[in-house]
Structure 1
Amino acid sequence: MNREATLRDYYQAMLAALGPSRWWPGRTPFEIALGAILTQNTAWTNVEKAMHALRESGLLDPRALARLTDEELATFIRPAGAFRVKAARVRNFLLFLHRTCDLDMDGLRGETVETLRPALLEVSGIGPETADSILLYALGLPSFVVDAYTRRILNRHGLVPEDIAYGELREFFMDVLPPDPALYNEYHALIVRTGKNWCAKRQGKCPDCPLAVFLEEFSPLTCTGKSIIPHP
């Protein structure tokens, strides 16, 4: 299998069917980073409610947010779910920003993925997917984001094993694609849009999927049709 050619073919098929995604929503790098933390284990619609409450109160700024008590912070982000846990994670991220860039994310612009990613992963409550989302979407650095949709789609097409680790799945893309933040941004967004609309966990809608061309036959229950791409 020519992995680069295969991944580019998948990208072009999704882009042709869905058009540009224009992700990630947020007016500033900090808003995007905050959204990446709040969206853990919840729907984006819930995050929007929390972000709206913060915006209406003039708190979508790291310095303003840092002045809140833990209880006040938790109250504002309640709509995002697990609000006390997420308040602690936001606080940890604010402390990280205070140490590294005096609460000004523009101060991180000169960093690289190789130096900044390990530092983010040391922040309690920030895992690989959140760290990569902050790097890619908030800071425009070439760090590919993968998620459950990525694993599900590629596994159902016979490209990766079901139990592939996050790091291996990330490298599946980054090993062969150029370190282009715009490409990584759009690719991940297209995967999420495709996954949400066609590749559900229990039952896929393979015949209408933008990636149907890469399967030669379909199973109506599991969407695990025979792939026309050989397994790596």
Structure 2
Amino acid sequence: MATLKESPLKLDGRRLRTAYSQLLQRYGPQHWWPADSAFEVMVGAVLTQNTAWSNVERAIQNLKAIEALDLHQIDRMPPDELAQLIRPAGYFNVKARRLKHLCSFLRAHAGQLQPLSDKALRRAFLSVNGIGPETADDILLYAFERPVFVIDAYTRRIFSRLGMVPAHSAYEALRLAFERALGPDPELFNEYHALIVRHAKEACRKQPDCTVCCLALECDWAVQQHALA
């Protein structure tokens, strides 16, 4: 018996761009990703899993202090030594193994990644032990400048409160919906994701402060809370 194919999630491109303009006006350009090289972006993408960026910065500084923020240095470093250097980022033993897997992958595919299509490059990074969709998309967008929209908890929070997406939408459905609605534009995706993170930290927190939210007038959640007050 044939099964019904689930309809793709659709987003209003005009409303998405309006929200982007409001966020950009409120916060200004964010100049992301804060890194000196594509490899540093990749390391940061692994380290930022389940932790705050301030912790990642401390771990990266530890690596830079001994000139070890280098593919070959990390690849050769004993796992326990690497784990202690990245300890501020949390889950340091797990992340040390993941960085090792990443370095082995990059060394094995030296010179082969840049020519790949966006889909093939994404599949390649998803094959690395410890790299899931969000980490892979961070790497594609910020290290390779590919038009891949990064979905994180902040994106779900903001756009579900705005009433634009279901709160529990699947990762791939959300990613594809943003990409279809906005069109392939890595510069826009870069800045938009950075602005989402900034807004989620300053206004649309777990306990939001709608009084300082530049999106409040278009936000279903804010309107409902005001009606209940």
TM over 0.5: yes
Find 2:23's aligned residue among 14, 28, 34: 14
The amino acid across from 2:214 in the alignment is P
Give the corresponding residue for 1:37.
46
Per-residue CA deviations over 1:123-151 (Å, capped at 9, x if unaligned) read 11101100000000111111110100100
Percent identical pairs in the alignment equals 47
Distance, in Å, in 2 between the alignment partners of 1:160 and 1:35 is: 28
Give unpaired runs (5+ residues) of structure 1: 227-232
Distance, in Å, in 2 between the alignment partners of 1:2 and 1:150 is: 13
Give the corresponding residue for 1:100.
109
Give unpaired runs (5+ residues) of structure 2: 1-9
Per-residue CA deviations over 1:1-32 (Å, capped at 9, x if unaligned) read 97110110010010011100100111000001
Per-residue CA deviations over 1:62-119 (Å, capped at 9, x if unaligned) read 0111110111111111111111000011011111111111xxxx75332221111011
Establish whether residue 143 from structure 1 lines up as the match of residue 148 from structure 2.
Answer: yes
Give the corresponding residue for 1:152.
157
Moved more, 188-197 or 106-115: 106-115
Cα RMSD (Å): 1.8
The amino acid across from 2:156 in the alignment is R
Task: Indicate conservation of the 8 Å contact 1:112/1:141, yes or no.
Answer: no
Task: Indicate conservation of the 8 Å contact 2:48/2:89, yes or no.
Answer: yes
What TM-score, normalized to structure 1?
0.89
Give the corresponding residue for 1:171.
176
Task: Indicate conservation of the 8 Å contact 2:162/2:220, yes or no.
Answer: no
Task: Indicate conservation of the 8 Å contact 1:13/1:210, yes or no.
Answer: yes
The amino acid across from 2:76 in the alignment is R
Find 2:79's aligned residue among 63, 66, 70: 70
Give the corresponding residue for 1:127.
132
Establish whether residue 198 from structure 1 lines up as the match of residue 207 from structure 2.
Answer: no
Question: What is the total number of aligned residue pairs between the two structures?
Answer: 218
Q: Which has the higher contact order (CA 8 A, sep 6+)?
A: 2
Query: What is the DSSP-based 3-state SS (H/G/I as helix, E as strand, rest coil) of the residue aligned with 1:176?
Result: helix
Shift of 1:224: 5.7
Query: What is the DSSP-based 3-state SS (H/G/I as helix, E as strand, rest coil) of the residue aligned with 1:108?
Result: coil
What TM-score, normalized to structure 2?
0.90
Distance, in Å, in 2 between the alignment partners of 1:217 and 1:7 is: 17
The amino acid across from 2:114 in the alignment is R
